[in-house]
Chain A
Amino acid sequence: MTRTNTSDSRFLLRDDLTAFLSALSERCELWIPQAVGEGVRFLPYREEALLNLDQTPPDHPAKSILFPNTETLFRYERTEDGAITLIPQETTNQPLALFGARSCDIRAFDALDAVFLKRSAPDTSYRQRRNRLVIIGFGCLDPAATCFCERMGGGPFDEAGMDIQMIPLPEGYLFRTLTDRGKALIAPLASFFKEADPVTASQAEALRRKGAPHPDGAAVDFAALKAAVEAGREEPFWESLAAVCLGCGICTFACPVCSCFSLVDEGALKGGRRIRHWDACMFSVFTREASGHNPRGAAVDRVKQRFFHKFFYSLENGEPPGCVGCGRCVTQCPTCIDIREVIDHFQPGEG
């Protein structure tokens, strides 16, 4: 991705945000964080959607824009003589814009890219969306008590992976354009912006410095964590987690990095479709074979799988660690399993 030489900053008044999003939605497929029922999640823009930039982090991760909860991989049709026709997924070149995602969710895209683009044959439907994606990230003013992005090597104002970084200020938002792709996305909407005055610019810069990733100190030493987890494979500690885990899978669905899936058919005689949907290593049926044999039939093996994958297997395979510190699994686990305690157990004295 081409980075512009100097980031170009423009200011959008708070009162103009609604009109800006409406205009942007006419130029691309736009996803925004919106209040739906009792939660906040990223969904395609609608005029009547309730934008929510305040909740840190939104309940659902932004990964669904690249890795949908459910997607149709192809359709099939069966004629009366039994012949089958396969109809591939429709594709488009329309830009796909993610608005208002925080740095944790955007850093998680590195881990998703490692799986879907680099691990083996590229996943064509993921790549198609990834190539269309333009990201307007959101500087994070008010990390939650459960946030720990800095320990995972990020920070609330980390701009990695963003095309535009949006910094919330009292009167509105400073848009820092970081890539040519970001520039192209908002260039036609120049009339919504005004020049950032020096006071605004310095306010934003102060926030950004304060919340940028710490150059040293705070972050977990992943190589040491990996070695400790690997050495502690048989520790009774895992049993203490397994004893309370309900196997509900919410930690994996809430996780911006988790990417396990299943492939299933939905169909009738005349036609149907093959679907990919999110799945979870925390379900006992995930690995159960048709014979009934289940290599991870015990809860402790599933709990180990989740954390080994995040802090041992990913790193062993040269992929990013499986956690960005968003804390969603911590807040959403019904039995209060806390990934930070796992990190602390294997890396005491940190953080």
Chain B
Amino acid sequence: MDQPLFVPQRMEIVSVTDEVDSHDILTFELRPLDGEIAPYLPGQFAELSVFGVGEATFGYASSPHETETVRFSVKRMGALTQELHRLGVGATVGLRGPLGNPFDLARFEGRDLIVVGGGYAFTTLRSLIAYLLTDAQRPKVGHISLFYGVRSPGLFLYKEELARWEKAENFSLHLTVDAADENWKGPVMVVPALVEKVAPDTRNAVAVICGPPPMIKYTLPVLEKLDLKPEEVFISMEMKMKCGVGLCGRCNLGPKFVCKDGPIFTLKELRELTDVY
């Protein structure tokens, strides 16, 4: 008998980190109770189960080089995340993954990277950047420009890590907020406006975007204005998912499924598929 498709791997919560001032995003660190951590790459996602409530989809926030555990940052949004937030260290959850395609890192080799993220979807980009900053991967890509925007300064995820990245070599960090507080010294504008203002050098660059649909929609024209080709803009798409394997029917972009054929699409691919997302 095969491993049944929809039976998850049991995982134990080994730590919970409160990430933001609004206390509605927690990072769960998980260790397998059954078997090993299935190998994954940045950009992939998994279905997390809270038994008795159901499953929901989350991108890996951890990087493949962090081998003992996996991490997912989860915002309290609906019934499942509400229950997940109530679980503490020692509780058992389920994991089905990795699912979907990762960032095609071979296509980033030798190129500068413009990484654009907004809000809570930044988790996937954290996995990518943490991975690219490892000794093994760092030489493979050039300059990394990271643009990351949230509503207010207290809502940045992974603040300690951002502070480290700010000092990293060959790395520019551009943070922005919609509304400042008394300590905020940086720009106050939406992400697409900041990308346009900074106008990073795109001559040898590829771009990576992950964020809420409006941020994606308004950033794409800016990147095109900066002369990035549609086949060199990589977008991590999000749609509501259930099965994660291309069967349940809700996450399609035209004939493609975000879960099976994505979540990473190039702008060129996306344009050919649909504008319904």
Co-assembled chains A and B: yes
Interface flag for A316 (CB, 8 Å): yes
Most B C-beta atoms less than 10 A away, residue of A116, A272, A289: A289
Residue of A272, A290, A305 with most chain B CB atoms under a 10 A cut-off: A290
A351 within 8 A of B: no
Given the known interface contacts A290-B81, A313-B252, the answer about A262 and B242 at a Cβ–Cβ threshold of 8 Å is: yes
B276 in the interface, Cβ–Cβ < 8 Å? yes
CB of A286 within 8 A of chain B? yes
Question: Chain B interface: which of A86-94, A149-157, A207-215?
Answer: A86-94
Residue from A82, A127, A269, A274 whose CB has the most chain B CB atoms within 10 Å: A274
Which of A74, A272, A312 is in CB contact (< 8 Å) with B6? A74
Chain B residues within 8 Å of A76, by CB: 51-52
A263 to B247, Cβ gap below 8 A? no
Chain A CB within 8 A of B159 CB: no
A-side contacts of B186, CB under 8 Å? none
B183 within 8 A of A: no
Contact, CB under 8 Å: B276 / A123:
no
State whether B7 touches A267 (Cβ < 8 A): no
B4 in contact with A73 (CB, 8 Å): yes
CB nearest to B9 among chain A residues:
A86
Nearest CB to that of A81 among chain B residues?
Answer: B90
Flag whether A8 is at the interface (Cβ < 8 A).
no
For B, the interface residue count at a CB cutoff of 8 angstroms equals: 44
Which of A82, A115, A281, A291 is close to B250, meaning CB atoms less than 8 Å apart?
A281
A121 to B139, CA, bound (A): 35
- B246: Cβ under 8 A from any A Cβ: yes
A268 to B51 CA separation, bound complex (whole angstroms): 9
Interface string of B171-213 (1 = CB under 8 A from A): 0000000000000000000000000000000000000000011
Do residues A259 and B247 form an inter-chain contact, with CB atoms below 8 A?
Answer: yes
Query: From DSSP, what is the main secondary structure of chain A's interface residues?
Result: mixed
Bound-state Cα–Cα, A259 to B212, Å: 29
**Chain A: which residue is nearest B251 at the CB level?**
A287
Confirm or deny: A27 has a beta carbon within 8 angstroms of a beta carbon on chain B: no
- CB-CB contacts of A72-86 with B at 8 A, as 1s and 0s? 011010100011101
Among B1, B90, B247, B252, max chain A CB count under 10 A is at B247
Q: Which of A177-201 contact B (CB under 8 A)?
A: none
Is A124 in the interface zone, CB < 8 Å from B? yes
Assess the A295–B52 pair: CB atoms within 8 A.
no
Q: Report the nearest A residue to B260, measured CB to CB.
A: A120
- Residues on B with C-beta less than 8 A from A55 are none
Whole-angstrom CA separation of A267 from B50 in the bound complex: 11
From B75, which residue of chain A is reached at the shortest CB distance?
Answer: A290
Residues of B within 8 A of A (CB): 1-8, 10, 49-56, 77-78, 81, 90-92, 94, 212-213, 238-240, 242-243, 245-252, 254-255, 260, 276-277
Instruction: Give me 12 other A-B pairs in contact (C-beta within 8 A), A116-B247, A123-B5 excluded.
Output: A73-B6, A86-B94, A119-B247, A120-B246, A121-B5, A123-B247, A125-B6, A259-B249, A265-B49, A279-B248, A290-B56, A295-B213
